[in-house]
Structure 1
């Protein structure tokens, strides 16, 4: 399967309620089945850097259901790199085959190192970097979620000239890299809205490290309790959206963002006759893992 960024078309979404605004979805999920959406954009220049500097190994960090872990493992397989995933949670090391994301990453050849949540919080420190160097030797480090200067460069390519006509650009936010890239390539007159998938306002600081304009706002009302937290209301929305449009939404990022956009439209947040562009950041591999959890709780599954 090849990468095809040209498949990322803007698809108009027919709203199930009356409104003067127009909503379009940028289908970044169509670029590739696994390395899709913002993961393709973030990894593009990181992989080019690794190749240029003769690295043969990529090392990165992530949780058990991380889209970034799956995408990095697949990128390693496709481009011929060894891959190492430093995974949050020591208790997971004997449950790889029970976890769809880790099982897939392992099938791509990824090596895992499971560390405690306390150690994982030190992922950006020199001490853990040195420990990993001693254990694994030389590697090209890619941060959790893939966010660094090279990732921002890739995410700046999400918007094209045809997108300059939109009044609002919307994206989900996990580590802040994607929305920072969108901010940096948007027009000053455009408003960029980041919908946080995590609880709290700390992402403002992370975005500010990379954002070069101030035409943005972080929306923190639609995290549904925090990262990877969902409820029946969100599942109903995702399934209704799929029935209406034929488009799959992941429950961690894009599903929450679009739920928020629909709610804000109905509550008059956007100016009349506004044109809104929402970015589908992919991450559909996470649906299987979420459905496994939902099935255990005897909850409605994601279609």
Structure 2
């Protein structure tokens, strides 16, 4: 596997390692739990968190292959499309975003940002989009746009899992448990693969019916590290209705968290994880005396 690292061109400064800060919250004190935030959301405003970590080795591999164009997939509000467009601009790649559904003008804020970063947008009807990994669909895109380095939806693949694993190496504090939000299982797979003996990872699924992610985590680990680990688990009770869905209690939690700590949690991913952490602390599922790291991305 390629080990080349993309260089940082003029005009982009990545905050790496991302900071680790302790969260002081009176709800944790009775349980003697220490909570640290791994602020991957501060890596770069355009390519934050696991978006950068997933792209890092893929960008390097695209260069090794001599590809000058990145092609990837996403919904109309995809943060991955935004991040890929920004990374392409900063690192000198052309970018193509294949969007699920029909074109709607004016573009929403996410797609307008991607287009503003130079991404060429194209659209697939929902039936065809469900077949986006099929050879005939990929062949048609290749005929239309020429040679491209193809990134999967969400940017999740073996190289992405390797990139996510690196965040563990940046944490110098001792900890017992590390938590991340899970949409594809890739970040959890990478984190768990890099933990030391006795440490565990918990993924909080943001998808309704997210149990299938257990198989995805194992697949990513096999593909990226040629081995599965057994030091992780997946929580599936904190999806609040499913992907990109929310409920009043989640909104109240986000508002209260901002008031207490001055941190605005992303409601699609981070807030569901953080809500789950506090619920597990309160129930005793996270052991008394533990140090927990929560990854914000």
TM-score (normalised: structure 2): 0.90
Check if 1:37 corresponds to 2:16.
no
Aligned match of 2:8: none
Which one of 6, 25, 31 corresponds to residue 15 of structure 1? 25
The separation in 1 between residues aligned to 2:76 and 2:271, in whole angstroms, is 19
The residue number in structure 2 matching 1:146 is: 155
Q: State whether structure 2 residue 242 is matched by structure 1 residue 226.
A: yes
Q: Which moved more, 1:163-172 or 1:78-87?
A: 163-172
Write the deviation string for residues 76-99 of structure 1: whole angstroms up to 9, x where unpaired.
111121111111112xx12352x1
Is 1:204 the counterpart of 2:214 in the alignment? Answer: yes
2:94–2:118 Cα contact (<8 Å) kept:
yes
- The reply on whether 1:63 has 2:75 as its aligned counterpart is yes
For 1:127 and 1:11, how far apart are their aligned partners in 2? 48
Supply the distance in 2 between the matched residues of 1:203 and 1:263 (Cα, whole angstroms): 21
Match of 2:85 in 1: 73
Greater mean deviation of Cα atoms: 153-162 or 246-255: 153-162
Which residue of structure 1 aligns with residue 6 of structure 2?
none
**Aligned match for 1:110, one of 108, 114, 119:** 119
Q: Give the TM-score normalised by structure 1.
A: 0.88
Q: State the superposition RMSD in angstroms.
A: 1.4
Relative to structure 2, which stretch is displaced further, 31-40 or 121-130?
121-130
Q: Tell whether 2:179 aligns with 1:166.
A: no
Structure 1 stretch displaced more, 199-208 or 37-46: 199-208
Structure 2, unpaired ranges of 5+: 1-10, 222-227
Shift of 1:2: 2.5
Residue in structure 2 matched with residue 125 of structure 1 by the alignment:
134
Paired with 1:161 and 1:85, the residues of 2 have a C-alpha distance of: 32
Pairing of 1:168-187 with structure 2 (within 5 A): 168-187=177-196
Displacement, 1:164? 6.7
- Following TM superposition, by how much is the alpha carbon of 1:162 offset from its aligned partner in structure 2, in angstroms? 4.0
- 2:17–2:170: 8 Å Cα contact kept in structure 1? no
Return 5+ residue gaps in structure 1 as ranges.
Answer: 282-303
Match for residue 269 of structure 1 among 252, 270, 285: 285
What residue in structure 2 maps to residue 49 of structure 1? 61
Deviation per CA, 1:54-101: give whole Å up to 9, x if none: 2111000111111111000001111121111111112xx12352x110
Alignment of 1:77-116 (within 5 A): 77-90=89-102, 93-97=103-107, 99-116=108-125
The verdict on how the C-alpha distance between 1:187 and 1:55 changes in structure 2, with shifts beyond 3 A counting, is same
Structure 2 match to 1:249: 265
Count of residue correspondences: 278
